[in-house]
Amino acid sequence: MLAHKQFFTLRLADYLAPETVEEFDSWRFMGREWAGEAFGATEFLRPRGNPHDTVLVNLDLQELPALKIKEILSRLELALTPGMEETELAALLGRPVKQHDFLPDRKTLDYQMFQPDPYYLSLTLRKDKGLTNILLIAEELSKP
């Protein structure tokens, strides 16, 4: 996992053509106001009160180009790949601290990561597609 110091510098425009990335300074997500960048449902977010540090990365693995997914996951130092099944994730990450079954066709597994810095990691799996979404938050900075 990438250290916070490097995570804060991440920008979505470093991975995608700048003209495909939407930049914004007022975005409501998870009950907070953010600045950041988006490509569809993929978001790199910075707290509005600290718009220099990316603290949240939300990846939609179904819409990003495969090569870009690989580049971003490599930079994040996450050994995840689109389509991974729950058994593969358990072998890699252990048991989640929480599991959500909001819809019948998917589940979300939540993890707390502590090395090298604390992160909240949430992985959404669809029954027919495996891992489709990754949400990663620099944990100590995610509290309002």
Q: Please tell me the predicted confidence (pLDDT) of residue 47.
A: 94
* pLDDT at position 13 over 70: yes
Mean pLDDT for all residues in the chain:
93
Residue 76 amino acid letter: L
Q: Please tell me the predicted confidence (pLDDT) of residue 23.
A: 95
The arithmetic mean of pLDDT across residues 94-103, rounded, is 92
CA distance 118 to 70: 23
Give the number of other Cβ atoms within 10 Å of residue 38's Cβ. Answer: 19
